Amino acid sequence: MADEKSSSAGPPKADTARPPAAAPARAPVAVPAPAPAAASAAGPCAPPRAVDPFLGHGQAVTIVCASARTIPANLARTLEELGVSGAPFQQSVRTAVTAAGYTLGVDDVPAAPGTRLIQVVTIIQNARRRA
């Protein structure tokens, strides 16, 4: 079979014979100076925070989303909408809160199909630190 790389025979076009144009010069990028050590209290070398007396919103969202196997964007949805079984979800939340060092009552976590995840977050974020 014949080679079909070029359909026209003849000299190359004038546009392809030109050398490539030089790339435009870029302006130097200013790199911000590092912050002084005293101003960065939350840096990697910062001392550990004092123990919080309550679980807090951030940890509550993480625990609820992990227990429901979902993302924070679904916090407005119900257990039923997400296809989550109430009793295993309830047990998972209680176990995670206890593992984090906080306490919850046996019936503090609702397990009804109509329970919204944000309701569970609101309840468990106030879990108290174990003594």
Per cent of the chain over pLDDT 90 is: 56
Per the structure block, which two tokens stand in for 123? 């309840």
Phi then psi for residue 97, to 5 deg, are -65, -45
Which residues partner with 10 through β-bridges?
none
Which 3-state string (H, E, C) describes 62-119?
Answer: HHHHHHHCCCHHHCCCEHHHHCCCHHHHHHHHHHHHHHCCEECCCCCCCCCCCCEHHH
38-77 residue pLDDT tens: 544 455 665 555 678 999 999 999 999 999 999 999 999 9
Q: Determine the length of the chain.
A: 131
